[in-house]
């Protein structure tokens, strides 16, 4: 047995929550690495549309082996409208996020992106009519106050880049809402491939117009952008699948210290106390909402079991 197989076997025998935590740490590290790679390419003179094109095209290439394995027939769909909306939201959000990473410190972008779950709860309530009680409503308000701690209106100048990150977070929250309808019938790989294909074609024209020459030294970074992104997505997907969300999700906060470390060593960005406090407030509120939703779901299941017992 090779050393890789031994490690794989040992890992598979770990408790589900332990594996989930390790996968979440893995995902957090590669999300931070993705942000750092985008910031590096931006500072090297690559335009936002060009970076988005790299990210999308590499995503398509990395998913082609899956497509060849299952067959192109799996891409048939009757949900063109939903996919179009999802692609547009992803494209707009990614454009703003990539642009912001070129203008803001990694820790600021990472901290503000923790608001995505807050926007998701808000949009689910507004669009799908889901009831949001007093406790979750209060957690939403507290979470957005945490964003204000990072932005600090009145104390520092509010930049368009900060607002762009919040718009990105809101766009990704709407993506989460549309994912609920698509995931009922379609696999995650199919959903992601459709989005990558759409963003690749949407960014191709603007990328060609603003294209900057690629030097040999940039190729490893461009490849890393696609690989890091794919590993991050795989990590968070496996983390949620392996462990309980209430146990696993708190470790998503490690994305911030990873981003701080990369910011220090790659861009000489010093840690900011208020950014850390704001991010902690945001994450604490989203964690409470997740725990509250899990509790309410469990209570509903117990009540439903009592009212509709299984026949003996």
Residue 93 and residue 176 in contact, taking contact as beta carbons nearer than 8 Å: no
pLDDT tens digits along 142-166:
877 888 888 776 556 668 888 899 8
Ramachandran assignment for 271, one of left (phi > 0), alpha (psi -120 to 50 degrees), beta (any other): beta
Q: Work out the average pLDDT over 16-25.
A: 83
- Give domain status of residue 246, yes or no: yes
pLDDT tens digits along 70-84:
998 888 888 888 889
At residue 152, the pLDDT reads: 76
Residue 285 and residue 145 in contact, taking contact as beta carbons nearer than 8 Å: no
* Percent of the chain's residues with pLDDT above 70: 88
What residue numbers bound the domain in which 169 lies? 18-301
- Give domain status of residue 5, yes or no: no
* Reported pTM: 0.80
- Give domain status of residue 274, yes or no: yes
pLDDT tens digits along 214-233:
999 999 999 999 889 888 87
- Give domain status of residue 12, yes or no: no
- Give domain status of residue 180, yes or no: yes
Tally of domains within the chain: 1
- Give domain status of residue 297, yes or no: yes
- On average, the pLDDT of the chain sits at 83
């Amino acid at each position: 047995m090779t050393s890789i197989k031994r490690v794989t076997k040992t890992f598979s025998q770990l408790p589900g929550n332990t594996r989930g935590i390790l996968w979440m740490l893995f995902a957090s590290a590669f999300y931070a690495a993705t942000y750092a790679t985008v910031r590096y390419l931006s500072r090297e003179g690559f335009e936002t549309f060009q970076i988005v094109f790299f990210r999308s095209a590499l995503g398509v290439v990395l998913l082609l082996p899956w497509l060849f394995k299952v067959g192109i027939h799996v891409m048939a769909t009757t949900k063109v409208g939903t996919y179009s909306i999802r692609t547009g939201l992803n494209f707009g959000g990614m454009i703003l996020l990539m642009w912001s990473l070129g203008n803001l410190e990694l820790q600021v972008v990472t901290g503000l992106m923790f608001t995505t779950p807050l926007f998701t709860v808000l949009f689910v309530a507004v669009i799908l009519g889901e009831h949001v009680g007093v406790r979750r409503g209060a957690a939403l308000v507290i979470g957005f106050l945490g964003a204000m701690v990072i932005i600090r209106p009145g104390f520092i100048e509010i930049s368009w880049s900060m607002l762009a990150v919040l718009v990105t977070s809101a766009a990704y929250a709407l993506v989460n809402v549309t994912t609920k309808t698509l995931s009922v019938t379609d696999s995650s790989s199919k959903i992601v491939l459709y989005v990558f294909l759409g963003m690749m074609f949407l960014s191709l024209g603007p990328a060609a117009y603003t294209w900057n020459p690629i030097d040999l030294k940039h190729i490893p970074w461009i490849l890393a952008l696609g690989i890091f992104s794919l590993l991050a997505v795989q990590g968070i997907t496996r983390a949620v699948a392996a462990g309980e969300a209430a146990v696993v999700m708190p470790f998503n906060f490690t994305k911030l210290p990873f981003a701080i470390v990369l910011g220090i060593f790659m861009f000489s960005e010093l840690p900011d106390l208020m950014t850390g406090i704001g991010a902690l407030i945001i994450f604490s509120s989203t964690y409470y909402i997740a725990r509250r939703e899990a509790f309410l779901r469990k209570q509903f299941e117990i009540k439903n079991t009592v009212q509709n017992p299984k026949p003996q």
